[in-house]
Chain A
Amino acid sequence: MTTRRGRARRRPLAALLLTAATTLLLSSTVQPIPSPPDNHGAGVWAAWTATASQSGTVTMASLGDLFAFVTGSGVTTPTSFTVTSTSTTATTRGAATLTNTSTIPARTTLEWTRSTAALAVVVDECSAQWTSATTCSGTTTRIIDSRTNNAMSGTYTWNTSTPVNGVKHLRVSMAGARGNAVLTATNTPARAATDRTAA
């Protein structure tokens, strides 16, 4: 049996105990530790770069040739040599040089045409300059003769390459009819594709 007096005495003690416990609880409350920022700069960072480079130039070869009139009859353009015969009986002759203007040695092919089948066309090459339409200062080689197969046109390709700025001394002779003969030339690289590492 509990007396009223006993209960009355305990109330202030209980209140005191509650206050003390609350004080202790508050004083020992764990405060949150600030965590480090997790955005690390919000995803935008300065970028440091390092670069290195190398470069070089390349140039494609150029192929070309040039006719130049030397002596006798005939007319040249940079790309052709035309000799015209105005007689049915006389022989017409004209000399021109053909220069390899390519940037590389070239294989040269000479194309010829004649205007009429009655016109015989002969092309001779002189190892040196033609001093006149009839005189070669070196040795002569016949490279084209339309009478061989009686064709109206044909080609002749030199077996050896022509060096850069190399010159061929040509003479055209024709007879038998009025008409003309036209020479043109084509150069192709004398070498095959190859390793150019050493340039």
Chain B
Amino acid sequence: MTQVIDPVVRAGGGLSKRVVVLAVTAVAGAALACGGAYAAWTVNASGNSAVSATTASVTMVDANGGAFATAVADLVPGDYFYRYVNLTNTASSANTYAGPLAATGDLGPQILGTVETCSVPWTSPGGVSTCTGTKTTLLASTALGGAGTTVNYGSITTVQHVRYGFTFNTNAPQTLMGKAGTISAQIATTLVGGRDRTTG
């Protein structure tokens, strides 16, 4: 007797087998994914780099003979004088500096100030202060009375050679005879974090 096989049934039977194989494979995969004891192959990599906190430090040292601490007495209207300092950034990185230049006391309102920098140290050949490098004016002649005026020194990497000029008003009233005042310069930098330092 010849057995007639329903081609559809046969075909269906083949499909079912494939489905079974797939299912078994999937179940096996799921089982592998879900748990069990396996050999562990481990690859490790690590990286490290040093980090350090910055330092904020600056000095303001007399230079070229004109020292702030040297008092100037017996000013008469129109008298002028210079004070020289080296602003040295002793911090661990270049920073931007600014600060007030002020004149206080009775003479404060009568004192005008200028600020200039020189790319090389100021010299005084023959008593005349000279910049043999590049001279930059940071502050044109400005009355310094009261709180003074803020001078922006910009970014200082190492040293900035600064000359402060002070002029006693040519029209200073006679009522100021014998009066005194104080001149002062201050620089400061403020380091605030929050910067993206990813690149160093």
Contact = CB atoms under 8 A, between A and B. Distances in A.
Interface of A: 1-3, 5-6, 9-10, 13-14, 16-17, 20-21, 23-24, 27-28, 40-41, 43, 45-64, 103-104, 189, 191-199
B16 A51 contact: no
A197 B184 contact: no
B154 to A, nearest CB: 15
A23 to B, nearest CB: 4
A56 to B, nearest CB: 4
A55 B80 CA distance: 16
Interface of B: 6, 8-9, 12-13, 15-16, 19-20, 22-23, 26-27, 29-30, 33-34, 54, 56-60, 62, 65-83, 85, 87, 91, 95, 99, 103, 107, 111, 127, 129, 166, 168, 170, 172, 174, 176-194
B99 A51 contact: yes
Question: Which applies to chain B's interface (DSSP): helix, strand, loop or mixed?
Answer: mixed
A112 to B, nearest CB: 22
Nearest to A6: B12
Contact of A58 (B8, B87, B111, B186): B111
Contacts of B9: 3, 5-6
B184 A53 contact: yes
Contact of B185 (A40, A55, A189): A55
Contacts of A9: 12, 16
B110 to A, nearest CB: 8
Contacts of A45: 192-194
Nearest to A52: B60
Given A20-B23, A54-B68, A58-B75, A10 B16 contact: yes
Given A59-B74, A103-B73, A52 B186 contact: yes
A27 B191 CA distance: 49
A49 B56 contact: yes
Given A52-B186, A55-B68, A198-B65, 11 more contacts: A1-B6, A3-B8, A16-B26, A24-B33, A50-B95, A50-B189, A56-B69, A59-B73, A59-B74, A60-B176, A196-B75
With most chain B CB atoms within 10 A of its CB, the pick from A45, A60, A194, A195 is A60
A57 B8 contact: no
